[in-house]
């Protein structure tokens, strides 16, 4: 489960907006170039932090259950 992470990602090619975002395994999710140039960091429930590229984000996303993210 995702606990925290960078907010420089896009859903279906559009930047995310503030509010509640529900992610399921087939949501078209990708990092933008805004912060880490098509990469980002995520904190997971097991206490680990991972730096992921777009392929890594896709792999993580397909292995997770539904996540609800609060975007500031």
Name the pLDDT band for 69 (thresholds 50, 70, 90): confident
* Total number of domains constituting the chain: 1
- The predicted model scores a pTM of 0.76
For residue 14, the model assigns a pLDDT of 92
Residue with tokens 């992470």: 5
Domain of residue 10 covers: 2-71
Question: For the chain, what percentages of helix, strand and coil (3-state, to nearest 5) are there?
Answer: 15, 45, 40
- Pairing between β-strand 39-44 and β-strand 49-53 as defined by DSSP bridges: antiparallel
Share of the chain above pLDDT 70, in %: 100
pLDDT tens, position by position, 35-61 = 899 999 999 889 999 999 999 888 887
């Amino acid at each position: 489960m995702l606990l925290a992470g960078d907010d420089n990602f896009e859903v279906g090619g559009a930047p995310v907006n503030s509010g509640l975002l529900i992610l399921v395994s087939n949501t078209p999710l990708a990092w933008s170039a805004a912060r880490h140039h098509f990469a980002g960091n995520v904190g997971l429930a097991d206490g680990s932090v991972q730096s992921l590229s777009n392929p890594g984000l896709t792999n993580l996303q397909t292995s997770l259950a539904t996540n609800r993210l609060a975007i500031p």
